[in-house]
Amino acid sequence: MANEEAKSVTDTDRTVDQLSSGGVMFRVQDLDLYYGNFQALKKINIEIPARKVTAFIGPSGCGKSTLLRCFNRMNDLIDDVRIEGKILLGDRDIKDANMDVVRLRTEVGMVFQSPNPFPMSIYDNVTYGLRCQGIKDKALLDEVVESSLKKAALWNEVKDDLGKNAVKLSGGQQQRLCIARAIALQPTVILMDEPTSALDPVATGKIEDLMETLKEDYTIIIVTHSMNQAARISDKTAFFYLGDLIEYGDTDRVFSKPADPRTEAYITGRFG
Amino acid sequence: MTNDRRTLDALTNKRGMNNQRRLADGIKDFITYLSTSLSVLVLGAVFVFVLTRGWQTLSWDMITGDFWGGNFKVNFTETLPGTFTAPGSLPQDAYFSEKYGFAVRDDKNHEKKDIMVLLYLDPESPLKTSVGATAGPTLDQPLSAGIGAEIRKITYVNDDGAKKSAGLLGKQNAEQMVFTLDTQSVSVDSMDFQSSGGGIRGSLAATLMLIGITLVIALPIGVFAAIYLHEIAGKGKITKMIRAAIEMLNGVPSIIFGLMGMTVFFPLTRLFGATTPNILLGGITMTVVLLPVIIRQTEEALITVPDKLRMGSLSLGATKTQTIFKVVLPNALPGILSAGLLSISRIIGESAALIYTMGTFVVDRPQLNGRATTLAVQIWSVMSGEQPNFELASAISILILLMVLVLNVSVKMITASLNKKWKE
Ligand SMILES: Nc1ncnc2c1ncn2[C@@H]1O[C@H](COP(=O)(O)OP(=O)(O)OP(=O)(O)O)[C@@H](O)[C@H]1O
Ligand SMILES: [Mg+2]
């Protein structure tokens, strides 16, 4: 299959099981993160399971996005950020100075809050990541485009006009295109920061269904403000408050028997 | 709400603020209106003034004609006849030379004296290959008679190898001259003619050459500097200092750049065979003048490219350089284009920086490594002589105003479309 080839071309003969030791994808140990003098994350310890959907919830400003950005080192782009502690992907600390960040980002894809397709054709959007890796084989790219768009449940809507400028798609289609774009690189992890907050219920439903199928192949971490969404689609839920990880466990358990009164207050909508 | 209202009223009434405020507002409004109408008035006055003085002079002949009218003697580098066919568009009274590919007719000048006017010159005609034969700046420079030039004499070589004269100075009219040349000549040797002059072709060409040279040097440097400042350099002190320095360059009077160009860059242009101020030197100097503008404008364009696109690109495993060249630059292109257009209008309007670096001597056939004037400098040049040619200066001004107007409107349109693109 095309995707298998893509893997070999991008020089990643990794598998989810190899990367994650004992079904754990990321192991975060004593993570502190500072924006200047402000500490946004405090001694975070969390294990993200492989091939599961993990939801990060918590009131605005509690550090969900900040932690999410640690997993693909997007925090590097922000000036004046200081990070202490460890984030292990398999046995590698991705914070390591000699970590190949560009390579890491092909392994750990990201979908942003507001859809951000490039103002180029749908085809070029999907193949962007591979082209950046130097892949030019047209047949291979064609196959990746088809399989990625199919996985992102967008293929049927756009297959007749792959040359269409992506910014002309609807918001929901754009977001699915962004997911397809990330999938095209065959990542092991997909990070999603409030991927449906800019979408209507129908488009949201489509993306939620999509995650259900994607988690068979990928590890998904999603930040969401919707308790319903977290309860519906995630296997694990982590509740953050003011930079602290307050509670982390199976979603069913967290929502039915929250251990911390702050978690209970938040999920029942009494604050945040 | 109502409570606030009442206290405010009480306060203002007590202090008599209302009248005072009305007066203050009135004065400020008046000053605003006055200033606005003053600027509009001045702009209108400039246009009317220039238009009335220059309109008559403005013509296609003036745009395409030489500046230096006068008597010329030229030698031909190509002397042998060929076979030419007359163009269909010649008037009845024109005489066409099939051997040399030109057409003339008899006419009278405003002093009622007989003249013979050149009507047509085949691109392949030997007469095209003329070089100046009189001592002066045009000696041995290409100097072709333009359409409308008065031909006075053409010297030819006959069967016996003797040089003979045909034309008015040989007491021949157009018909006789063409007949003589076509029947008796073996080759042509030289020509005397009088061109009308007062044209701006040389300056127009020099202006275009200067624009080309400057953009070729300045755009890449400016764009890459902007990319460095906005996309690559951190937001540290050094970046700030560089940016402040660039901003400051913007305020330096351009004549200082002219002085600098003359002393610092002139040796550089010597490598290209320059012995006098020259267009290349002007271009290098204008590059320095324009860099702040281009850098600034490009940065503005880079700012309009949304960060989420950069993030998207980087999150897909693109390197910073790939992100810049595949995503950021294509989206900043309209802005860079408008930087180019703004630069062009600055070049057209510049004079001070060019006086030292390109000279003020109007040259009809400018070359990159030789003296030349731009249109703006030609205005200065024709006005500073013993007999200022106000009409020509005004005509050139009209052209400059038109060009700058078109350029600025284009920039406005590009900016507007750029802003709309990301609004959604
Ligand atoms: N680039 C930055 N520079 C400085 N402080 C930042 C930066 N980004 C985030 N912060 C701060 O870090 C804290 C956590 O921010 P973060 O964006 O991670 O919150 P969040 O949980 O994602 O909130 P939301 O639900 O509103 O997206 C906030 O207090 C925020 O002000
Ligand atoms: Mg967030």
Position B423 pLDDT exceeds 70: no
Q: What's the A259 CA to ligand 2 centre distance in angstroms?
A: 24
Distance CA A90, CA A93 (A): 8
Higher pLDDT, A234 or A19: A234
CA of A58 to the centre of ligand 2 (A): 10
Residue A3, pLDDT above cutoff 50:
no
More confident residue, A238 or B19: A238
Closest CA to B149 of B201, B90, B192, B183: B192
Contact A128 B315 (CB under 8 A): no
Size of interface A-B (CB pairs under 8 A): 63
- Check residue B322 and give its pLDDT: 94
The closest of A235, A237, A239 to A216, measured between CA atoms, is: A235
Say if residues A185 and A153 touch (Cβ distance below 8 Å).
no
Interface pTM (ipTM) of the complex? Answer: 0.88
Q: Give the C-alpha separation, B205 to A114, whole Å.
A: 51
> What pLDDT score was predicted for residue A123?
96
Give percent of chain B above pLDDT 70: 93
What six digits make up the tokens of B148? 């409308």
Mutate which of A66, A67, A81, A196 for ligand 1? The one with the most ligand atoms within 8 Å of its CB, which is: A66
Query: In order of start, what are the domains of chain A with their CATH numbers?
Result: 2-23+49-66+98-267 (3.40.50.300)
Query: What atom in ligand 1 is closest to the CA of residue A225?
Result: 25
What's the pLDDT tens digit per position in B194-210? 876 788 999 999 999 99
Distance CA B211, CA B347 (A): 7
Average pLDDT on B159-188 reads 88
CATH class of B69-194: mainly beta
pLDDT-derived band at B11, boundaries 50, 70, 90: low
Query: What's the pLDDT tens digit per position in A198-231?
Result: 888 888 888 898 888 888 889 999 999 999 999 9
Number of H helices, E strands in chain A: 12, 10
Give yes or no for residue A69 CB within 6 A of ligand 1.
no
Closest CA–CA distance from residue A110 to any residue of chain B (Å): 6
CA-based nearest residue in chain A for residue B316: A129
A chain contacts of residue B306, beta-carbon cutoff 8 Å: 116
Single pTM value for the model = 0.74
Q: Which two tokens stand for residue B257?
A: 């750049």
CATH of domain B201-423: 1.10.3720.10
